[in-house]
Chains A and B, each alone.
Chain A
Amino acid sequence: MSVDTATVAKIASLARIKVSEGELEAMVPELNGILAWVEQLGEVDVTGIEPMTAVIPNTLRLRDDVIDADPLTGGGKRDAVLANAPAAEHGFFGVPKVIE
């Protein structure tokens, strides 16, 4: 499978990355080079093989249902959460207007 300019534009839009026409042109052969190379995986017989889900067998744990059990990841951290925000206003993340 190979991609064309329109497909790369679509992928870039899905990935929320703005690309110029020029960048798009340059990316098409690059991505096709990589895709053509990974294509060789198709020749592997994977009949009856399960896709890997965990590299080291491990059971997913549930933590105790206790509020602020670990204060580091608990609540009451508004100012710390907002500390690195490019636009924090009135205790919220500020974003451009989304509803007219």
Chain B
Amino acid sequence: MTDLTELGVAAIRDGVAKGDFTAVEVAEAFNANVAAAQDALNAFIVATPDAAIEAAKAIDAKRAAGEALGKMGGVPIGMKDLFATVGVQTTAASHILEGFKPEYESTVSQKLWDAGAGMLGKLNLDQFAMGSSNETSYFGNVISPWRRNDGGNAALAPGGSSGGSSAAVSARLCPAATGTDTGGSIRQPAAFTGITGIKPTYGRCSRWGIVAFASSLDQAGPMARDVTDCAIMLETMAGFDPKDSTSLDMPVPEWTVNLSADMKGKKVGIPREYRMDGMDEDVAKSWDDGIAWLKDAGAEIVEISLPHTKYALPAYYIVAPAEASSNLARYDGVRYGLRDLPDGANLQDMYAATRAAGFGAEVKRRILIGTYVLSAGFYDAYYTQAQKVRTLISHDFKNAFTECDVILAPTAPSAAFALGENVDDPLKMYLNDVFAVPASLAGLPAMSVPAGLNREGLPLGLQIIGKPFDEQGVLNAGLAIEQRAGFTAKPDKWW
């Protein structure tokens, strides 16, 4: 029998529907991989093998009864531990939420269960989704399944913040996983691990029940092995939700049905400002490959300009911490999560002690930056200025899209780096998201698809950025690249 864990979303769903194998067999196979990899990769904070089996049994019973199985019927997935799941610990990889068992289910996870998916477990991430290497989790680093081809065994970063998701999908611990992207947290980890991930237009997926980081930027999306699987899963996750005030009240298009790698008549923009001085040679080459592939698919290539690109990252590091400092004010040791009550402490002491004990260093750093830039006397100089620059960045894209349909760029400035390499220098770590953040600030759909391996044998990703609401254009260009890149590499199993 084929190894079921080598199958993706579409293959599992169709195989279960046809009766080639049962949903329970699939769940058992992935449960076994999850358990076997946990000590080495630490991709999950909590595994939920029983939930996976239970969901699978329900699908097999439905099939026996001749009922429809749903868009994700029989597909077990990993859930980033930022989505509230009823009765299953939801931590955002923080100590302050350790032991928190939500009484409600996030809209996105509920939609996935309703479509027939099952849960393999809650995936590790950077604490409160703040990080680019999964080194800020209270529950330990996630280790990438990839290793350099130099014979060394350096532990590499799976990217972040959705590092558990990327490691798990690339190591075949799950066929797909949810991610969230605030400033690249789906795309950069996808690029680091040779998988595919899409952040849809801001508002496509409900934020209800997702632990909030920066509400004007946070967007959920799928991470999977290929473009088609992402399209299927995104159709399931997206949709209007009255419980999220910024949810888009628009129908969810049939992205899967309309997938087409034919780029004839389409213009692909190449942003001049993304070709930075000292760009990694292999990254530059993969970008050139991508240009050639899209040309081959029939697209016309045009040079475009996004003049405010260099200001995107600093603007992001004002806006995101500002929103985070406000969102994370809710963790006070009163309503849920950790409480640290030193002897004789009053209420204010309790807040301060709880938050000191419950937040990690990077989270505290961002809360402090956010508090400072929002404080009286500094608000206009920092926050208002950043929001104006954000308007300019959005204008840049609007102008560019009068000349092209989609934009092609690298996903990240390098391949995966070793754990520990960037932890002591926050600014160096932030630079990982230099190509990802502009699309986040403008709320645009953007995806990363694997382009090839670099000289160290590590995956590189290409990023496609689209117009608002044009996930279809992004997915189609992604498919055109996927078909030509022929990326089949996967990490050699060492765990």
Q: In the bound complex, what is the Cα–Cα distance between A42 and B386 (angstroms)? A: 9
From A15, A49, A81, give the contact of B392 (CB < 8 A).
A49
Q: Contact between B371 and A15 (Cβ–Cβ < 8 Å)?
A: yes
Is B389 an interface position by the 8 A CB rule?
yes
Contact of A55 with B442 at beta-carbon distance under 8 Å, contacts A27-B365, A86-B339 already known: yes
Q: In the bound complex, what is the Cα–Cα distance between A40 and B248 (angstroms)? A: 34
Q: Contact between A41 and B391 (Cβ–Cβ < 8 Å)?
A: no
Residues of A contacting B368 in the complex (Cβ-Cβ under 8 angstroms): 8, 11-12, 15, 17, 27, 31
Within 8 A of A (CB), among B363-408: 364-365, 367-369, 371-372, 375, 378, 381-382, 384-392, 394
Q: Contact between B388 and A80 (Cβ–Cβ < 8 Å)?
A: no
Within 8 A of B (CB), among A14-41: 14-19, 27, 30-31, 33-35, 37-41
Q: Contact between A18 and B443 (Cβ–Cβ < 8 Å)?
A: no
Q: Contact between A70 and B243 (Cβ–Cβ < 8 Å)?
A: yes
Q: In the bound complex, what is the Cα–Cα distance between A52 and B345 (angstroms)? A: 41
Across the interface, name the chain A residue whose C-beta is closest to B100. Answer: A84
Q: Contact between A41 and B243 (Cβ–Cβ < 8 Å)?
A: no
Is B341 an interface position by the 8 A CB rule?
yes
Residues of B contacting A55 in the complex (Cβ-Cβ under 8 angstroms): 202, 216-217, 390, 394, 441-443
Q: Contact between A44 and B427 (Cβ–Cβ < 8 Å)?
A: no
Q: In the bound complex, what is the Cα–Cα distance between A18 and B352 (angstroms)? A: 5
Across the interface, name the chain A residue whose C-beta is closest to B387. Answer: A51
Contact of A15 with B203 at beta-carbon distance under 8 Å, contacts A55-B441, A96-B345, A96-B350 already known: no
Q: Contact between B242 and A93 (Cβ–Cβ < 8 Å)?
A: no
Q: Contact between A98 and B104 (Cβ–Cβ < 8 Å)?
A: no
Is B61 an interface position by the 8 A CB rule?
no
Number of A-B contacts (CB under 8 A): 173
Q: In the bound complex, what is the Cα–Cα distance between A24 and B41 (angstroms)? A: 34
Is B154 an interface position by the 8 A CB rule?
no
| CB of B245, distance to nearest CB on chain A (Å) | 6
Q: Contact between A34 and B317 (Cβ–Cβ < 8 Å)?
A: yes
- Residues 400-436 of B, flagged 1 when their CB comes within 8 A of A and 0 if not, give 0000000000000000000000000011000000000
Q: In the bound complex, what is the Cα–Cα distance between A3 and B377 (angstroms)? A: 13
Across the interface, name the chain B residue whose C-beta is closest to A43. Answer: B311
Q: Interface size class for chain A?
A: 35 or more
Q: Contact between A33 and B216 (Cβ–Cβ < 8 Å)?
A: no
Residues of B contacting A16 in the complex (Cβ-Cβ under 8 angstroms): 329, 332, 348, 351-352, 355
Q: In the bound complex, what is the Cα–Cα distance between A72 and B40 (angstroms)? A: 39
Contact of A93 with B426 at beta-carbon distance under 8 Å, contacts A46-B392, A51-B391 already known: no
From B243, B338, B346, B387, give the contact of A86 (CB < 8 A).
B338
Q: In the bound complex, what is the Cα–Cα distance between A11 and B308 (angstroms)? A: 30
Q: Contact between A17 and B242 (Cβ–Cβ < 8 Å)?
A: no
From B243, B347, B364, B385, give the contact of A96 (CB < 8 A).
B347
Q: In the bound complex, what is the Cα–Cα distance between A56 and B467 (angstroms)? A: 11
Q: Name A's interface SS.
A: loop
Residue among B335, B353, B381, B388 facing the most chain A CB atoms (10 A cut-off): B388
| CB of A45, distance to nearest CB on chain B (Å) | 9
Contact of A37 with B314 at beta-carbon distance under 8 Å, contacts A31-B365, A55-B443 already known: yes
Q: In the bound complex, what is the Cα–Cα distance between A27 and B356 (angstroms)? A: 14
| CB of A43, distance to nearest CB on chain B (Å) | 9
Q: In the bound complex, what is the Cα–Cα distance between A70 and B244 (angstroms)? A: 13
From A18, A27, A87, give the contact of B355 (CB < 8 A).
A18
- Residues 197-237 of B, flagged 1 when their CB comes within 8 A of A and 0 if not, give 00001110000000000001100000000000000000000
From A61, A93, A98, give the contact of B335 (CB < 8 A).
A93
Q: In the bound complex, what is the Cα–Cα distance between A31 and B372 (angstroms)? A: 10
Contact of A50 with B388 at beta-carbon distance under 8 Å, contacts A1-B378, A84-B101, A84-B336 already known: yes
Within 8 A of A (CB), among B309-323: 310-311, 314-315, 317-318
| CB of B360, distance to nearest CB on chain A (Å) | 12
From B337, B364, B387, B391, give the contact of A17 (CB < 8 A).
B364
Residue pairs across A and B with Cβ atoms less than 8 A apart, 15 shown, are A1-B378, A17-B368, A33-B427, A34-B317, A34-B427, A44-B392, A50-B391, A52-B387, A54-B216, A56-B201, A83-B103, A85-B334, A86-B337, A93-B334, A96-B347
**Interface contacts beyond A18-B356, A35-B372, A98-B347: sample of 10 additional A-B pairs, CB < 8 Å, sorted by A:** A1-B378, A13-B352, A33-B426, A37-B317, A41-B382, A55-B442, A61-B245, A61-B249, A86-B334, A96-B345
Chain A contact residues, CB within 8 Å of chain B = 1, 3, 7-8, 11-19, 27, 30-31, 33-35, 37-42, 44, 46, 49-56, 58, 60-61, 63, 70, 72-73, 77, 80-81, 83-87, 93, 95-98
Chain B contact residues, CB within 8 Å of chain A = 99-104, 201-203, 216-217, 242-243, 245-246, 248-249, 308, 310-311, 314-315, 317-318, 325, 329, 332-339, 341, 345-353, 355-356, 359, 364-365, 367-369, 371-372, 375, 378, 381-382, 384-392, 394, 426-427, 441-443, 468
